[in-house]
Amino acid sequence: MTTSKLPILLSPETLSAHLNDQSVQVVYVGTEEKYVEGHIEGATHLTHASLNFGIAPTAGHLPSPDHLQQLFAGIGLNEDTHVVCCDDEAGTAAARLFWVLEAMGHQHVSFLDGGLLAWRAAGFTLTSAISPRRTGNWTPTPQSQVLATKEYVLESLANPEIQILDARSEEEYAGIKSASERKGHIPNAISMNWLNTRDPNLNNQLKPLQALQRTLDQLGLSQSKEIIAHCQTHQRSCHSYMMLRALGYKNIRGFAGSWSEWSADLSMPVVNLQDQKG
């Protein structure tokens, strides 16, 4: 079977039909222990930590291009490889890989909807056999149009053609709680809790795309505008980024520093709804 252009959002059934395509490479993101316990046949493995800078307050920043080139070479990634990102958790680890690859200019990336939870529920099996390591030659090229710096976000606050999607919980957005010392949200940000985009009764797969589009329309998040997605450290918002891409949104940036970096800089403006109540 030859590979046609696969959609961004893959069902287990679609992946199964293309699993033997030579250009398709499933990449499991998670711990080594979980990978050894069971993964899709032929899948290679990356840790979640390897896709993050990892040092606060910019823990969610990208690692260096040199680090990423070595990382992806180790899983056999070439320019024409179609990567299918999956995990066995909530989907954020696989979505992080999805965003990193697009931020580094890779052209062929999909996301297994529901990950291994949905794969098993569909009746497909896993293996503990370790896939042989291959050497790839793809060179990452940072894509400025996919990346949003703190300074870019600050400048965007005065631009009506740019919108900010806050993927954190409603409590974080309102300033009721925070993993950072400062609480609240970036001015003008629109709250869309990433958890509300998944169906917990359907193996944590995305809700129907039409329903998600209606929600986005109600929130005013328009395909005609640029959208910057963020959360605390750009893990949950990578899932939001992937969702938007699956819906056909093209002009999206990920704010890798996210709330962690923004709130740590006391010169950055913050809106705290709890303060307003006082």
Catalytic residues, by residue number, are: 231
Which amino acid would we find at residue 98? F
Strands 252-255 and 226-230: parallel
- The residue among 75, 78, 72, 81 whose CA lies nearest residue 100 is 72
Return left, alpha or beta for 91; rule: phi > 0 is left, psi -120 to 50 is alpha, else beta.
Answer: left
- The residue among 48, 54, 46 whose CA lies nearest residue 73 is 46
Task: List Cα–Cα distances, 11 to 18, 29, 130, in angstroms.
Answer: 11, 18, 24
Return d(Cα 88, Cα 156) in angstroms, integer. Answer: 36
Contacts of 275 (CB under 8 A, 6+ apart): 175, 184
Return d(Cα 153, Cα 4) in angstroms, integer. Answer: 37
Task: List Cα–Cα distances, 84 to 27, 79, 80, 166, 257, in angstroms.
Answer: 6, 14, 13, 26, 25
Return d(Cα 140, Cα 147) in angstroms, integer. Answer: 14
Return d(Cα 271, Cα 144) in angstroms, integer. Answer: 27
Return d(Cα 102, Cα 108) in angstroms, integer. Answer: 9
